[in-house]
Structure 1
Amino acid sequence: MTRGLAARAAAVYLALRAVSAVIVLLAVNDQVPVESWTGPDVDYVDMTVLWDGSWYRTVAEQGYPRELPLDPTSGRPSQNAWAFYPLYPLLARGLMGVTGLGFPAVASTLALVCGLGAAVLMAGLLAERVGRRVALGAVAAWAAFPSAVSLQLSYTESLAMLVLCGFLWAVMRQRWAVAAGLALVLGLTRPIALPLLAVVAVALAVRWRRRRECPVSGGEYLAGAGALVACAVSGLTWPTIAWAVTGSPTAYTDTMAAWRAGGEIVPLKPWLWMSEWVFRDYELAGTYGPVALAAVVTTIVVMVCGPWARALGPELRSWCLAYPAYLGLVLDPFTSIFRYLLPLFPLLVVLLGGGWPDRRPRFLGWRTGVLVAAGVVGQAIWVFELLVFVPPSDYPP
């Protein structure tokens, strides 16, 4: 990757973070002060520790509970810090010790810097497949995405994106040992590590097919197997640590269930329930919802599998299939789903028309401008509707 590409990607990212900062500042007046989150007066830095940011602050300042707190009514584990992965808050804690600054300032700055690194890596790995212009357009659309505001809040999205982009670049270059190490790091960053297994499996299959023209050494066999094992281990690392500390083998899953409808993790069904809820004002909600959900799934599959995405290569395409499938199995599609869409950045290349292997994208500038403008409008909606909370229904614990 050239310095010029890196500089342009950094400039695009920082410019759009400045836009996001303005939106957050405009929302300050709408945020009701709550002492457990903001103190008596609300400013920009206070806005960065709302919602999940407050949990990461708890981890950074107090650590994790050795015993799971129980709900007095149901007797089940209640919401607690074990749902939040440790790498980001522990890095923030270390920086707090070095700088003497408080969590809000340190954590939001850490997120901003990690997002900058992710944007630069993203531009580099995409440029190798689809060219510099499309890569920069995709970085701009990603940095303007409605939930991209979280890249400068006290959330783990930025760090996870940095590690993910590094992992995908390593796999694309067949640096199996590097990919294995980054997979293990991602397993302590966000609960999105298991789909990496499919990406490595596809990459290894592609490498195996090329073995006659480029023989595979014994060391490469071993490194590839190590990458597969590391991806599997990374998805189990944090639940295992939670078990070891609390003594409960289901500490992590019980904690995650505390945030779910009905207090349990049910694969796939929550997506059906949510699709019907979206159309709840219509008599045929039970029909419209599933049809709309099927349309979303079909759209993703068509976007990834069509010739318009061939230039992305098998690694990025497999990620864009494995990751949504994983979300369907483990995630309830509520407000956090918008942040979970950020790792699907390769699909932006398809929307820009840059995924054809033998065609130059048409109207690239216009397409990029439309996606950026729509994203900024979406950011305003995300901030005022989801980041700002309205008591008492949204009141924090």
Structure 2
Amino acid sequence: MNELATADVPGRTRCDGFAVRAALRRAAPALAAFAAVRMLGLAVLAVWSAANGKSWHTLLTARWDSLWYTRVAEQGYGYSVQLANGDVHSNLAFFPLLPWLERGLSALSPLSPADAGMVVAWLASLAAAWALYATGERLHGPGTGVALAALWAALPVGIVQSMAYSESLFTALAAWGVYCVLTGRWVWAGVLASLAGLTRPVGAAVVAALWITAAVTVWRARAGGAGWRAALREHRGMLLGVLLAPLGWCGYFLWVGAQRGSLTGYLEVQGGWGNGFDGGLAFASFIGHQLSGPAFAAGLGLLVGVGLVIWLYVHGVRRGQPLPLAVYGGTVLLLALTAKGYFGSKPRLMLPAYPLLLPLAAGLARWRPVRSWLVIGVVAVGSAVYGAFWLNGSGPP
């Protein structure tokens, strides 16, 4: 757990520039595969949108949540909409890092905040693909790293990675943060966890991965006869990383509470959107309603999908997935499945749960290259078609 691999994460030693370039060269096939899958998705979206008389650019930058992020970037917080049923949608529900980056990039360039958000998403998705490659390479070899990045790009909702949404930015920060935990870079892990916590509520998953791994590391050291002080001396920076990790998430949560005059202010904001956590009761009720009505096929598909993601998680844990990945992936999955609200958003909420794909990537890496890339190509085409259909229809609110 405390083994350090200086070639994979920037910022460790004076020769890190060389190490980063070497790591980037190794990751180049994964980044190329990721970019090819996403470019295919964008090409199909452009053709499909033109046939429907719509703009692919508008669909990526000025629909659904991207409008809320852009408004925060342009006007700050304090905007809300009251619906006919009395619900209040406040922009305090949207964490600030993406709007900050949109505002900063648009101030330094000719880009509008909306276009800046799309550029941030595209660059962040490449950073996330690099982190996925580094993770797969470390655990199972280069082939797994390439397959993991390509599979993540080819998810059915992969088009969200190219939208002015926060999923790509969050996944990049989370994946590098978890990788730093995996390699014992505790301070970097804490910084990245804090930034992930400023990006999405599920940033708590990165904090959990760091805290639980740190606790288990200290416990194992004590079980081996060393005291906790000796464990902290051996794992330098662990305590600082643990302290830094929750600052972003807790800071925004407390700031919203101060704005609302209530310690639970952020939960009240989410309640106004119809969101929150009920242990999965609302989602189970929704699936049950689908199964008992004319939408039986859709309900059955949902049930199979939930079973599949749970199986992937359990399978990865049984295969010995490292603790930081198991905790992070399990927390993202738990939060997504137990949240109430608009159930069409659940696939998007699970987009950052890349550890679920590790067993599939490792399996593909063992196949002959022609066979594995044929499978990835078929999945990528399906993802591109579905993404174009989805955005030109109900979309990912």
Query: Could you tell me whether the CA contact under 8 Å between 2:132 and 2:175 is conserved in 1?
Result: yes
1:340 aligns with 2:349: yes
- 1-side partners of 2:304 and 2:159: how far apart? 27
Query: Could you tell me whether the CA contact under 8 Å between 1:278 and 1:289 is conserved in 2?
Result: no
1:57 aligns with 2:48: no
Give 1:319's aligned residue: 328
- 2-side partners of 1:267 and 1:6: how far apart? 39
The two structures, once aligned, show a CA RMSD in angstroms of 3.3
Q: Residue by residue, what CA displacement relative to the aligned partner does 1:255-293 show, whole Å, maximum 9, x if unpaired?
A: 222332xx76533212202221332336999x9799758
1:11 aligns with 2:15: no
Q: 1:220 to 1:340 in 2, by over 3 A?
A: farther
Aligned AA for 1:247? G
- 2-side partners of 1:14 and 1:288: how far apart? 33
Give 2:16's aligned residue: none
Aligned equivalent of 1:299, options 303, 311, 314:
311
Q: Map 1:114-193 to 2 at 5 A.
A: 114-193=124-203
- 1-side partners of 2:276 and 2:352: how far apart? 26
1:377 aligns with 2:382: yes
Query: 1:222 deviation in Å?
Result: 7.9
Q: Map 1:1-397 to 2 at 5 A.
A: 1=8, 2-29=23-50, 42-49=54-61, 50-65=63-78, 70-71=82-83, 73-74=85-86, 76=87, 78-208=88-218, 209-210=220-221, 212=224, 216-219=230-233, 223-260=237-274, 265-281=277-293, 295-296=307-308, 298-307=310-319, 310=320, 312-332=321-341, 334-354=343-363, 361-363=366-368, 366-385=371-390, 387-389=391-393
Unaligned stretches of 5+ in structure 2? 1-7, 9-22
Unaligned stretches of 5+ in structure 1? 33-41
- 1-side partners of 2:381 and 2:235: how far apart? 46
- 1-side partners of 2:350 and 2:373: how far apart? 18
- 2-side partners of 1:30 and 1:258: how far apart? 37
Q: 1:122 to 1:291 in 2, by over 3 A?
A: closer
- 2-side partners of 1:30 and 1:116: how far apart? 29
- 1-side partners of 2:350 and 2:295: how far apart? 30
- 2-side partners of 1:138 and 1:145: how far apart? 11
Query: Could you tell me whether the CA contact under 8 Å between 2:145 and 2:361 is conserved in 1?
Result: no
- 2-side partners of 1:92 and 1:347: how far apart? 30
Query: Which SS does the other structure have where 2:279 is aligned?
Result: coil
Aligned AA for 1:28? S
Q: 1:338 to 1:368 in 2, by over 3 A?
A: farther
User: Between the two proteins, what is the percent identity of the paired residues?
Assistant: 22
Query: Could you tell me whether the CA contact under 8 Å between 2:194 and 2:247 is conserved in 1?
Result: yes
Normalised by the length of structure 1, the TM-score is 0.81
- 2-side partners of 1:117 and 1:288: how far apart? 36
Q: 1:367 to 1:346 in 2, by over 3 A?
A: farther
Aligned AA for 1:10? L
Aligned AA for 2:149? V
Query: 1:239 deviation in Å?
Result: 2.2
- 2-side partners of 1:305 and 1:381: how far apart? 30
- 1-side partners of 2:112 and 2:295: how far apart? 52
Query: Could you tell me whether the CA contact under 8 Å between 1:145 and 1:372 is conserved in 2?
Result: no
Query: 1:349 deviation in Å?
Result: 2.1
Query: 1:362 deviation in Å?
Result: 3.8
- 1-side partners of 2:301 and 2:125: how far apart? 35
Query: 1:372 deviation in Å?
Result: 4.3
Q: 1:257 to 1:26 in 2, by over 3 A?
A: farther
Give 1:37's aligned residue: none
Query: 1:102 deviation in Å?
Result: 1.4
Query: 1:306 deviation in Å?
Result: 2.0
Query: Could you tell me whether the CA contact under 8 Å between 2:213 and 2:324 is conserved in 1?
Result: yes
Query: Which SS does the other structure have where 2:89 is aligned?
Result: coil
Q: 1:362 to 1:10 in 2, by over 3 A?
A: closer
Query: Could you tell me whether the CA contact under 8 Å between 1:194 and 1:234 is conserved in 2?
Result: no
Query: Could you tell me whether the CA contact under 8 Å between 1:117 and 1:162 is conserved in 2?
Result: yes
Query: 1:364 deviation in Å?
Result: 6.1
Shift >6 Å, 4+ stretches: 282-285, 287-291
- 2-side partners of 1:178 and 1:24: how far apart? 37
Aligned AA for 2:269? T
- 2-side partners of 1:349 and 1:365: how far apart? 20
Query: 1:245 deviation in Å?
Result: 2.8
